[in-house]
Structure 1
Amino acid sequence: MVDAAPNYDVVVAGNGALGLSLGLVLARRGLRVAVVGRADRPYAASAAAGAMNGCFGEVTPHLLRSEHGRLKLAMDYQATGRWDAWEQGLLEESDETAIRTANGTVVILNTVGVHEIDTEGFRAIRAALDEYKEPYEDLDPAEVPWLHPAPTARPLHAMFIPGEHAVDAPALLRALSAAFTRNGGTLVDDLVGEVLLVGGRAVGVRLTSGTTLSAGHVALATGAATTKLLDCLPEDVRHRIPAIVAGRGVALMVRTTDGVVPESVIRTPNRAFACGLHVVPRRDGLIYLGATNEVESQLGTTAAIGELNLLLSGTSQMHDDLVNAWVERIMVGNRPVPLDGFPLLGSVGVEGLWLMTGTYRDGLHQSPLLAADMAARILGEPHDSELDVFTPVRPPIEAMTREESLEMAVRHTLGSGYEHEWRLPDDWPPMIEKHFRAAFGRTLEQVDPEFVPPPEMFIFADESIHAALRTYYEAHRGASGR
């Protein structure tokens, strides 16, 4: 049972960058808001994020080819324009002295990647910058400050994007927490175990401790842990929402030998279903080295040896002296990845229950934008109607043809081999490619003969994900005319 009078106007489940940002926007409006989440954030993507303010640096050829991909880029661009004011407000309402830590981004194209991924990605970044008329500067790779790779990983090209910075994620989370409480918000160190519905509307949540919080609205910003909280919904609604799985990412916090760190982010284009190899400067001689991406049905808190090997081998692409540096911390986070690869924003069709999650690698960067939009939706105010396409109860968004999805699966899997610096006889890669194409093609057909999932959803051979895809597709088959 819940109280007759709600304890809160809004309960936000999830205390990562998105949940805290939404709580802060609502608290600044004078609402009674509770943000619920464990203080140690064991699974959160935000706590382990490199936190690049990546807009154009994240662009890929496939992103620019689809309507929904271009909308995602437009969202990133709008979010970039909000960060100056957002950071200033956080500094004024917290004890932090700085939140962003990098002056611009250097994108490098080096000899480790492959043409279809790295070269085409580098070109796509330039094309998007030109389209948006954003400034960038071609650099001589040999003159990029701090960058000193091994000769076998030397960059072929480099460009500097002055408008793309980075965020110190721990400082951001501290600032958001402080600003939220100073505006009257309540932080609850617990987890939401159940959303409570009465008479077809959300009326509160039950915490894992057994405590009940009543509220006029419940917003789920619980990332990769969201899907289990939707068990409160009728089955015909729940199955029409793409489940969220975990894009488990591993990164390293490294202390350089001489205490010198780059002034800017240094990164490659996106690679192998991840955000490329990147170094993000932090304070006190520390750099963030990231990041891997493994799409899994379960949340993860540990790193595989292979993931660590990939990151450690990548140090030679950035600075050959990093072999002597010290790993101070291994970080693991779980990016929220919906089955169709696009965010879940808005009402779930049950009054008072909202989703603000599924942002994959964009949530922290987009947090000022999405928090404002979601607050407007909750309050019944004008909002960005273009984002309505990401309503949670929706047919699958298919941003690729079957041929494109299969081709991307093959190319990026092969590309990861070159990232691992494999050494093979010259006639083996074509044979391996043939094997991957046949194996992935069979899996794609077994998942569904008509709908097209993103390649991340079928290359990792997670049968739980495949089963979730089949359930989701079946719920929409009749309505889609298939």
Structure 2
Amino acid sequence: MSATSTEDDRRFDVVVAGNGALGLSLGLTLAWRGVRVAVLGRPHRPAAASSAAGAMIGTFGEVTTTLLKSDYGRTKLDWAYQASKLWPEWLAELSDGSDLLTAEGTIVMLNTVGLPEIDTQNYKAIRAALTEYGEKFEDIDPEDIDWLDPEPTARPLQAMFLPHEHAVNAPELLARLEKAFTAAGGTLITEQATRVDHSGDRVRGVKLESGTVLSAEHVVLAAGAASQTLLDTVPEQAARIPGLVSGYGVSVLADTADGTAPRSVIRTPNRAFACGLHVVPRGTGQVYIGATNVISPEPRETALISDVLFLLDCGLRQVRRNLGESGLRRIQVGNRPVALDGMPLLGETELGGLWMMTGTYRDGLTLSPLLAREMTSLLLGEQPTIDLDVFRPVRPPIQPFTRAEIVENTVIHMMATGYETNWTLPVDLPFTIEHYLRRAYTRIADELDPAFTPPPELLASSRIHLSLAQSLRDYYAASRTAVAVAG
């Protein structure tokens, strides 16, 4: 904000804290409706997910067996499907944004690297969901996949082509969203908010890094994992909302040695606590390789060398052997917003006018047109077309599965990380490792809470990060207290 800004310059109907795909999309839909709206965030987006994303905007490539086994997962799948139908018009609104598309469809391959309990079953789940929704796909011979050249021990066994699962250029998408937002009358403020300003049971605005206070009837926390810092300035609310941690990921942009790139996304099913390995074309002779997923209590701005090495090794072994001769143009770091129960945080808190639009984990960019439309309806007092209340921020932990099921899932995914790193073990040793992992994760879950159990990736990470374990215990205790008081 300028030092000479007037009081009117600091007054808005809605302030959106966060300038990633979700925050800008919400700001844009509000501005189109004539709302006086400001979007806040540093231009380089230090804790964002979308700026480092492969930006695959499909629905079915992300389907897993666990997604299909719960009502919550089914809801997320249905939302993603609805969002996918909005993308053509959404891109057209962004100055004929069809040129933002970088891939023609997606190839999902089932290769020899993973575990049948994860890779094979998730591959089958993708096919089942495509069939259920009547969505077009085609089985293809892996040997006919252009550009694919893995090492022989990582060769694909099966593959299918999803013609409607595309990808966009994420940095350019964000630039177009910013341009459209300001053209519609929105205000971009290149600062982060440091505090939610409130009085009694009503929000009044936010305080910026510069000390400037913005007044607003509504404040929306849409800053991804970094939203937690703002939420913590309202501790009585923060205690009863699943805390946010980072699903830190590394991706790279590479200039291929031979100047080629695939026409389509090439990916595996989701596995090893992460989205599947994927290579996305980014123009002539350039590819995006992603992505890792490591739970971190705080957002990260730099990549660990070990994660970069792991990612590049996966790309070379599983997709194209001569990628090692490519020029490494950029290493990117993203922070996916992960709530302590693994589910989105959408809607108004119990502090009037304070809203949340985060916790979307891997789905934020894909869902952005849909969630922006629906949140705009709520903020304007209109009836939304989908029930966002299922993921209201103030809630007891959402736990779709039993403790035993979660522990077993954690063990399997932990073992999958070993196979993806190409470990070599005596044939009988994995059974012993699984046995002791099962005992260890059961003990950790028992120590966290008698009944509540976090999602597998958080359960695994709580063994490493003591602060994460404490955050889980605090949230579970606060939820039990709230239930007791209400009762």
Amino acid paired to 1:328:
R
SS at match of 2:232: helix
Equivalence for 2:110: 109
Equivalent pair of 1:105/1:266 in contact (CA under 8 Å): yes
The C-alpha deviation readout for 1:293-314, integer Å capped at 9, x for no partner, is 1101111112222211211111
Q: List aligned pairs for 1:110-125, cutoff 5 A.
A: 110-125=111-126
Indicate the residue corresponding to 1:468 in structure 2: 471
Helix, strand or coil at the partner of 1:91:
coil
Superposition pairs of residues 286-325 of structure 1, within 5 angstroms: 286-314=286-314, 315-325=316-326
Instruction: Name the amino acid aligned to 1:173.
Output: L
Amino acid at match of 1:463: L
Change in CA separation of 1:41 and 1:310 when aligned onto 2, cut-off 3 Å = same
- 5+ residue gaps in structure 2? 1-5
From 56, 59, 62, give the equivalent of 1:58. Answer: 62
Alignment CA distance shift 1:233-1:326 (3 Å):
same
2:218 counterpart residue number: 217
Write the deviation string for residues 133-182 of structure 1: whole angstroms up to 9, x where unpaired. Answer: 11100000000111111111110000001111011001100100000011
The answer for the alignment partner of 1:88 in structure 2 is 92
| Matched ranges for 1:37-436 at <5 A | 37-92=41-96, 98-233=99-234, 235=236, 237-314=237-314, 315-436=316-437
- Given candidates 36, 39, 48, the residue that maps to 1:32 is 36
**1:334 partner SS:** strand
Residue 326 to residue 234, structure 1, CA distance change in 2 (3 Å): closer
Q: CA deviation at 1:11?
A: 0.7
- Tell me the SS of whatever aligns to 1:250: strand
Q: 2:14 aligns with which of 10, 22, 25?
A: 10
1:4 and 1:263 map into 2 onto residues whose CA distance is 50
Tell me the TM-score normalized by structure 2: 0.95
345-354 or 358-367: bigger deviation:
345-354
For the residues of structure 1 that align with 2:303 and 2:433, how far apart are their CA atoms? 27
C-alpha displacement of 1:54: 2.9
Structure 1 5/99 Cα, relative in aligned 2: closer, same or farther at 3 Å? closer
Residues of 2 paired with 1:365 and 1:4: CA distance? 35
CA distance in 1, matches of 2:327, 2:409: 35
> What residue number does 2:446 align with?
445
**CA-to-aligned-CA distance 1:265-317 (integer Å, 9 cap, x gap):** 11000011110100011013111101001101111112222211211111221
- The amino acid across from 2:157 in the alignment is L
3-state SS in 1 of match to 2:119 = helix
Distance 1:263 1:24 in 2: 31
Q: Deviations over 1:352-372 (max 9, x none)?
A: 111000000000010000000
- Deviating more after overlay: 331-340 vs 396-405: 396-405
TM-score, normalised to structure 1, is 0.96
Aligned-pair CA distance for 1:198: 2.1
Contact 2:242/2:341, CA 8 A, preserved across alignment: yes
Query: For residues 337 and 86 of structure 2, what CA distance do their matches in structure 1 show?
Result: 23
The reply on whether 1:477 has 2:480 as its aligned counterpart is: yes
Deviation at 1:6, TM superposition (A): 6.4
* Whole-Å separation in 1 of the counterparts to 2:297 and 2:257: 38
- The alignment partner of 2:158 has SS state of strand
What SS does structure 2 have at the residue aligned with 1:77? Answer: helix
User: C-alpha offsets along residues 90-130 of structure 1, whole Å, 9 cap, x if unaligned?
Assistant: 124xxx67112111100000011110110001000001111
> How far 1:234 moved relative to its partner?
5.2
Instruction: Compute the displacement of 1:415 (Å).
Output: 0.5
